[in-house]
Amino acid sequence: MSRHREPGRLPRPAAPRSRGPGRRPTILPAGASLAWELWNFRTLFPAAGGDELLAVKREQDAILAREREALARLWSGDQVLLSPGRDFFAARPQLASGITVSLHTGPYQLLAEPWLHAGIEPLILLNRRALPRFRDAVEPLSRRLGHRGSVRWAAVGEPGFMRSVMTAARDGRPVLAYLDGNSGEDGSTGTRERGLRYALPGREILVRTGLARLACRLGCPLHRVSLRWDDGQVAWDGAPSLAPGLRDDPDAITRELFDWAFGVIRSRPAQWQYWAMLRDSSACFTAARLEDGRPNLALLEEKRRAFLACCDHAPDTVRLVLDHVVEVWPGDILADLTVDRFHPAAGLADGDLAILRERHPTLRELREHHGDAWLRFHGLRLCLLGAARLGG
């Protein structure tokens, strides 16, 4: 049976460890996945343990089951699922213009439906990689529902995208954007290196200010809207609109937007489908903060000489003992979870550590398993970083 999504179907929800909404989860080694997700989870809930994370994951599974049933009813012609959004939109005529910011929560793919039902053509601002997936889902559904209006699209980074957004906003046409996409023309790497610092309970992340700067420049209102599943039905929530102007500080507006966003997410963490956003924008992964992993060899020369001497003269009796919980995470990051420190992986793969996790191999066993160059570089580096030591 084909595993391809049926044309026109909405993209599936994402798992917390996925690389983005609707994408397949990143494959991590056995035992590493939960540690990775828990590290991410603690950005918002610093004191959380594995039990709290697993409870959220169970709730996500239950929501997913109800969502599939609800969407099946929608595709069979039952439009009751859409009534709450249409009522929400009808009660807020201000949403017909300005910038509406939303989140990847609940059935976020249905955000544009009330505008289309009203015959209004919104401009949806998306990451260029996400645009084909959204377009393939939204446009067939819109035709099936008989909408009078049609969606217009603006892919961040494509030529002319900013002109399209500014023209729509100036002409009073609605612009829809997902705030937690949090990436501009240069992607998540650009966010990490040049974003605005934003403090969460567990650690700092970097966030984009582009929507706030645009709204301030144009004097364009910012409407805050989120969707969620509520026992198989779609619930719409809103917050008071913001009215930024030329004299307002875009950084302050950005922080106000993200204060709202993370308030929504923390109140219903199982509804959020883009946990990877926290990983991708973590301030500890910026070039300035990521420890370069090249310890000062002048200060550690004695340890270096001792390691290399053991490699040459006592490889059968000296063992390499991994003292810390160490993993290699996506993005070429060596994570020392014991002391919450992060380094470039420098070519180390997570699978390379399996032999060290399973037992305390001798230096000769490591050389036979990985090769002499690996032993003298990565074995030594793990010792110099304090994650491993030589033992008898």
Residues 349 and 201 in one domain: no
What is the value of pTM for the model shown?
Answer: 0.77
Residue 202 within a domain: yes
- Could you tell me if 196 and 311 lie in one domain? no
Last residue of a domain, one of 244, 261, 285: 285
- Distance from C-alpha of 108 to C-alpha of 101, rounded to nearest angstrom: 11
Domain match, 143 and 280 both: yes
| pLDDT value for 6 | 42
Element (H, E) at 368: helix 363-370
pLDDT at 333: 84
Dihedral, CA of residue 36, residue 38, residue 40 and residue 41, to nearest 10: 160
Q: Which residues pair with 198 in a beta bridge?
A: 205
Examine the domain organization and report whether 59 and 195 are in the same domain. yes
Output phi, psi for 235, to 5 deg: -110, 140
Nearest to 198 by CA among 182, 174, 186: 182
Residue 265 counted as domain residue: yes
Provide the CA 383 distance to its chain's centre, in angstroms.
32
Extract the tokens encoding 30. Answer: 């056995």
End position of a domain, from candidates 285, 320, 340: 285
**Can you give the pLDDT at residue 150?**
79
In this structure, the answer to whether residues 153 and 187 fall within a common structural domain is: yes
Question: Is 12 a member of any domain?
Answer: no
Same domain, 256 and 327: no
305 & 281 share domain: no
**Which of 285, 313, 331 corresponds to the end of one domain?**
285
In a domain, 292, yes or no: no
Asked if residue 18 is part of any domain, the answer here is no
How many domains does the chain divide into?
A: 2
273 and 171: one domain?
yes
Same structural domain, 123 and 44: yes
Note the pLDDT of residue 69: 87
Range of the domain at 321: 301-391
- For residues 304 and 306, give the distance between their C-alpha atoms in angstroms, rounded to a whole number: 5
Write the CB contacts of 388 (distance below 8 Å, at least 6 apart in sequence).
320, 321, 322, 323, 324, 326, 356, 379, 382
Give pLDDT, residue 368.
95
124 located within any domain: yes
- In this structure, the answer to whether residues 247 and 163 fall within a common structural domain is yes
pLDDT tens-digit profile, the chain (392 residues)? 333 344 344 444 444 444 455 443 343 443 456 788 898 999 999 999 999 999 999 999 999 888 888 888 887 778 899 999 999 999 999 999 999 999 999 999 899 999 999 999 999 888 777 777 778 777 777 887 888 777 888 887 777 777 888 888 888 899 999 999 887 666 677 777 788 899 999 999 999 998 999 999 999 999 999 999 998 889 999 999 999 999 999 999 999 999 999 999 999 999 999 998 998 888 888 776 666 555 554 557 888 889 999 999 999 999 999 999 999 887 778 888 888 888 888 899 999 999 999 999 999 999 999 999 999 999 999 999 999 999 98
Angle at 357 between CA 352 and CA 360, to 5 degrees: 100
Is residue 9 situated within a structural domain?
no
Q: What is the rounded (10 degree) CA torsion for 223, 114, 135, 169?
A: -40
**What b-and-e string marks burial along 149-168, b requiring 16 or more CB atoms within 10 Å of the CB?**
eebebbbbeeeebbebbeeb
